Amino acid sequence: MPIDFASDSDIRQGDVLRSFSDAGRDTDYGIVITADCDIAQKKSNNRITIVRAVPADHFVSHYWSVWELEKIAERQIRSLIPFVNGAIRRTELALDQLTAVGLRSWVISRSPEEIFRILDIRVDKYNKEYSSLVALSQWLSFANDVEKKDGFKCLKSVSQSLGRPESELRERVREALLTSGGFQDYLIVPNLPQSSHDGMAVLMGELVTVPVAEVHGSAYAARVCDADSGYVRFGRLADRVRFAIAQRISFVFSRIGMEENYEDDCRILADLVSSEVANAQN
């Protein structure tokens, strides 16, 4: 996918960069997206725009897994609210009906076992709602952890609590990495040259600008400049790949949300037309 090139060539759009510092951290990548003409004519104020990229395994554990956890948590909350509020009404507890925010606060401060005891429900580990509470508790513990070291580990635990087989999770990871079509907020780039990682994920929403002086054509050039941090170029993407990245970035930043009235009118229209079409067939 990326191709090697002479280290003394000019910086160009599509160049693959690897960050470095005195601390030895070199797990971040960047893709130059500044237009070649702007670089050549120095129209970018001696700065280069880079879209951030991370190793594919890091992407799965720190990005994709977190997104998946948030979606799963929202589904559990939607299903638990009527269950918990129904139990509150049945037991005539002096408690207000819980909202999503209230349920989150309750799960943070109490264990699933405590919540079931308060609701006067027998704890059954095979109970669907109990499993949902356990999964929600696991996610909230992770979400409130400032370090958030490994989202995939939490996702695996949540999936087990919900009774989902490990093969299903493995297949979802595989599908997430097969992103050749559509307009995802990321793009997987495999087969990196001169890299210990199997591939990287380009994060379309994470753009940074860096001084031209911090981008070096090679590790040797960085040493000559006595640079203690910056980016070292080690490859260049094929044109089709860099064009795809530019297209997806423009899509991410050109999404325009419509007013609520517009969305409501569209729903009314959809209901009306679907009913008319269905009735016309009778």
Question: Would you give per-residue pLDDT tens digits along the chain (282 residues)?
Answer: 566 665 556 788 889 988 887 554 546 789 999 888 888 888 878 899 999 998 888 899 999 999 999 999 999 999 999 999 998 888 877 778 889 999 999 999 999 999 998 888 888 776 899 999 999 999 999 988 867 678 999 999 999 999 999 899 999 998 888 865 556 789 888 876 656 667 888 999 899 998 988 888 777 777 778 777 888 888 888 888 888 888 888 887 776 666 778 777 888 888 888 777 767 655
4 residue type, one letter? D
Question: Do 64 and 161 reside in the same domain of the chain?
Answer: yes
* In contact, 118 and 133? CB cutoff 8 Å: no
198 residue type, one letter? D
Question: Do 17 and 74 reside in the same domain of the chain?
Answer: no
* Exposure string over 219-236, b if 16+ CB within 10 A, otherwise e: beebeeeebeebbbbbbb
- The total of structural domains in the chain comes to 2
Question: Do 196 and 216 reside in the same domain of the chain?
Answer: yes
Q: Residue 245 is part of a domain; what is its CATH number? A: 2.30.30.110
Question: Do 105 and 37 reside in the same domain of the chain?
Answer: no
Residues 6+ apart with CB under 8 A from 99: 81
Please classify residue 206 by burial: count the beta carbons closer than 10 Å to its beta carbon, then call 0-12 exposed, 13-18 middle and 19+ buried: middle
| Helical packing angle, 65-91 and 128-143, nearest 10° | 130
Question: Do 144 and 76 reside in the same domain of the chain?
Answer: yes
70 residue type, one letter? E
Question: Do 157 and 65 reside in the same domain of the chain?
Answer: yes
SS3 168: helix
Question: Do 51 and 185 reside in the same domain of the chain?
Answer: yes
Domain of residue 154: give its range: 59-167
161 in a domain, yes or no?
A: yes
Quick one: pLDDT at residue 121?
86
Nearest to 87 by CA among 46, 39, 120, 51: 120
